[in-house]
Amino acid sequence: MTTADLDRIKVAELLIDLECAMRQSQLWQKSAPAIEYQASTVPFAADCLAFTEWLQFVFLPKMHDILDSGSSLPERCAIAPMLFTEGCGKEGELRGLQPILEALDDAIIQAS
């Protein structure tokens, strides 16, 4: 197994950790928001999705598709700082995602 393979495995593990943390913190939704959220051109779909919705319905599926298809991972990733933007940096459950998102940012950059 190559270093690149191990890097991609680390990213996959962190994606699973993120989903688990969201579920444990009751941030995971049972149903997707309306389909129009896909039309957003604003970064992180901030105009129509909460950050956790973006993670669940946009980021996680896209990252799984990239890994499953063997496509290249993004060269840059800065999702953790989104927790500190207005409306995302609230106390409580979102703070628990910070270490996972920071590790995921680093792992994606390392694997690219």
Q: Which residues contact 105 (CB under 8 A, 6 or more apart)?
A: 77, 78, 79, 80
Q: Is the pLDDT of residue 90 over 70?
A: no
Render pLDDT for 4-38 as a digit per residue (tens, 0 to 9). 999 999 999 999 999 999 999 899 999 988 877 66
Domain over 3-31+38-111 is classified CATH 1.20.1440.40 = yes
pLDDT at 49 over 60: yes
> Would you kindly state where each structural domain of the chain is located, as residue ranges?
3-31+38-111
pTM, 2 dp: 0.89
Considering only the C-alpha atoms of the chain, give the largest distance between any 2 of them, rounded to a whole number of Å: 42
Q: Measuring CA to CA, how many Å separate 82 from each of 2, 36, 55, 109?
A: 32, 22, 11, 17
